[in-house]
């Protein structure tokens, strides 16, 4: 079935294949980020509007990738386009190199919605946001080690690029995961200094943490792992209690969940408030954005006004931090969601799609389920309970890739094997057409 899906895909996308072959001559793998590649090759986009994406062969897709969740309003939302154009026209330049009013406005907007955000610093990506959140946690606690959860992704910097998608044969017991590098080029000491924890298993997590607590600066996690696998509420509460009692910084990576569970993100949804939060993706309105936010006493370590000697301050800088065009797009995005319960509309669209997909799996007796929360979800091809990375890794990955390629061939785009996201641009007609494509794909798989 997978080979048949690939064959149909190649017949529909010859221009994408040609461009990819040309890209191979100048770009490693023909892609500028590894996530953009999938077998046999990725589609090459030409334009996008609203909920639709168009490739270089003229194929139209209902887009559920949405730049990996960044586009909560859909492609080219008029408010965002207008805000960018206005900023360029009124500001006269793309960037100032000095502080400007939009930095203050966006910081206030984040403080308004994110419960832990007493102070804000901007970055240019979610990667930078998690990097600086962990650095300031080390500076504040004066401890060196970081704990992360197996299967969670926090960007491509050394201390967190461990046990992201490890082979099940290499990672030890479920109760005590063995750290596994997720890239070549990691120093051995980085692997040794990173503690790996089992997601959604509070007893096992606390047992590991107690053995490292004296030199542990922070625990970082995605409250919804990889954008679709939610934490148990009691698990998060127990983790928060332990970190508070032991002076360990709790860091939420809300790069994926920001604006997708509601304006207050996962911490508002769960009622669990971390010490620090990393933001990105949707908060930038489709432009490169990041921020690390948190308690005033922690964030003040980054202030150049601090009386502390430089060795005791956090060094945080970046030429493009707080870029006015980015903040204009981000503010327009948040303001659009604030009107008319925008987040709830987006979530309701996801719920309808999830329920329809699950009903079709049941109707055709396919061993699959739909896992997710808010405006994010994934179909997972197993009937077993899904609680963590290992449960997902044991599912039928080949069938999932086949399913996704069948959808792409029928005008429904998601990067194969990755999370589905909805936006304000998706409507009932999109959902109806998508579920028709899902039924055709399920029937193909069932046959």
Higher pLDDT, 245 or 445: 245
Per-residue pLDDT reduced to its tens digit, 331-358: 999 999 999 888 999 999 999 999 999 9
Instruction: Note whether 320 and 394 are same-domain residues.
Output: no
Instruction: Note whether 271 and 395 are same-domain residues.
Output: no
**Which of 303, 338, 373 is the C-terminal boundary of a domain?**
338
Measured between its terminal Cα atoms, the distance across the chain in Å is 9
Helix (H) or strand (E) holding 338, with range, is helix 324-338
CA distances from 308 to 301, 312, 315 (A): 8, 6, 12
CA distances from 114 to 34, 264, 305 (A): 31, 5, 25
The percent of residues in the chain predicted with pLDDT above 90, rounded, is: 93
Q: Which residues are catalytic?
A: 153, 253, 281
Helix (H) or strand (E) holding 184, with range, is none
**Which of 338, 362, 392 is the C-terminal boundary of a domain?**
338
Count the domains in the chain.
2
pLDDT of 312 over the 70 cut: no
CATH number of the CATH domain containing 262: 3.40.640.10
Phi/psi region, residue 110 (left: phi>0; alpha: psi -120 to 50; beta: rest), is alpha
Average pLDDT over residues 125-137: 97
Instruction: Note whether 325 and 348 are same-domain residues.
Output: no
What span, in angstroms and rounded, lies between the C-alpha atoms of 302 and 326? 22
Instruction: Note whether 12 and 88 are same-domain residues.
Output: no
pLDDT of 208 over the 90 cut: yes
Instruction: Note whether 318 and 433 are same-domain residues.
Output: no
Instruction: Note whether 289 and 400 are same-domain residues.
Output: no
CATH number of the CATH domain containing 13: 3.90.1150.10
Nearest Cα to 73, choosing from 58, 61, 63?
A: 63
**Which of 338, 362, 394 is the C-terminal boundary of a domain?**
338
| Least confident piece of the model among 6-20, 180-194, 241-255, 299-313 | 299-313
Tokens of 434: 């998508």
Beta-carbon neighbour count of residue 234 at 10 Å? 10
Instruction: Note whether 65 and 145 are same-domain residues.
Output: no
Instruction: Note whether 106 and 68 are same-domain residues.
Output: no
Which one-letter DSSP state was computed for residue 116? T
Instruction: Note whether 137 and 155 are same-domain residues.
Output: yes
What residues make up the domain containing 156? 78-338
Write the DSSP string, 272-284: ---SEEEEEGGGG
Instruction: Note whether 200 and 121 are same-domain residues.
Output: yes
Instruction: Note whether 285 and 416 are same-domain residues.
Output: no
Instruction: Note whether 229 and 327 are same-domain residues.
Output: yes
Tell me if residue 317 falls in helix, strand or coil: coil
pTM value is 0.96
């Amino acid at each position: 079935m997978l080979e048949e899906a690939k064959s149909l895909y190649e017949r529909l996308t010859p221009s994408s294949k040609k461009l990819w072959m040309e890209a191979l001559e100048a770009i490693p793998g023909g892609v500028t980020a590894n996530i953009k590649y999938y077998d046999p090759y990725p589609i090459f986009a030409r334009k996008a509007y609203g909920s639709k994406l168009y490739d270089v062969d003229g194929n139209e897709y209902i887009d559920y990738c949405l730049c990996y969740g960044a586009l909560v309003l859909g492609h080219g939302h008029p408010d965002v386009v207008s805000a960018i154009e206005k900023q360029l026209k009124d500001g006269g330049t793309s960037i100032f190199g000095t502080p400007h009013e939009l930095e203050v406005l966006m910081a206030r907007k984040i403080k308004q919605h994110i419960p832990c955000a007493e102070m804000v610093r901007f970055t240019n990506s979610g990667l930078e946001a998690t990097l600086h959140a962990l650095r300031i946690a080390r500076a504040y606690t004066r401890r060196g080690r970081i704990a992360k959860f197996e299967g969670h992704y926090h960007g491509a910097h050394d201390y967190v690029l461990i046990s992201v998608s490890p082979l099940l044969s290499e990672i030890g017991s479920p109760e005590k995961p063995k750290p596994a590098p997720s890239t070549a080029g990691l120093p051995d000491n980085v692997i040794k200094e990173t503690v790996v924890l089992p997601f959604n298993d509070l007893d096992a997590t606390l047992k590991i943490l107690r053995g490292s607590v004296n030199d542990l600066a922070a625990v970082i996690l995605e409250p919804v792992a990889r954008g679709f696998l939610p934490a148990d509420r009691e698990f998060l509460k127990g983790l928060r209690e332990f970190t508070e009692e032991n002076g360990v910084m709790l860091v939420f990576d809300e790069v994926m969940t920001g604006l997708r569970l509601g304006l207050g993100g996962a911490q508002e949804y769960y009622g669990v408030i971390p010490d620090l939060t990393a933001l990105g993706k949707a908060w930038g309105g489709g432009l490169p954005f990041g921020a690390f936010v948190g308690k005033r006493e922690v964030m003040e370590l980054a202030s150049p006004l601090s009386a502390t000697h430089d060795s005791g301050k956090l060094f945080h800088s970046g030429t493009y931090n707080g870029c006015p065009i980015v903040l204009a797009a981000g503010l327009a995005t948040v303001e659009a969601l604030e009107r008319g319960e925008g987040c709830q509309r987006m979530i309701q669209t996801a719920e309808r799609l999830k329920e329809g997909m699950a009903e079709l799996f049941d109707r055709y007796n396919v061993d699959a389920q739909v896992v997710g929360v808010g405006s994010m979800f994934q179909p997972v091809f197993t009937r077993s309970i899904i609680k963590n990375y290992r449960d997902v890794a044991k599912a039928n990955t080949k069938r999932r890739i086949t399913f996704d390629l069948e959808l792409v061939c029928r005008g429904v785009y998601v990067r194969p094997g990755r999370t589905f996201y909805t936006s304000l641009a998706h409507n009932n007609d999109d959902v109806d057409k998508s579920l028709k494509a899902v039924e055709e794909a399920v029937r193909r798989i069932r046959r």
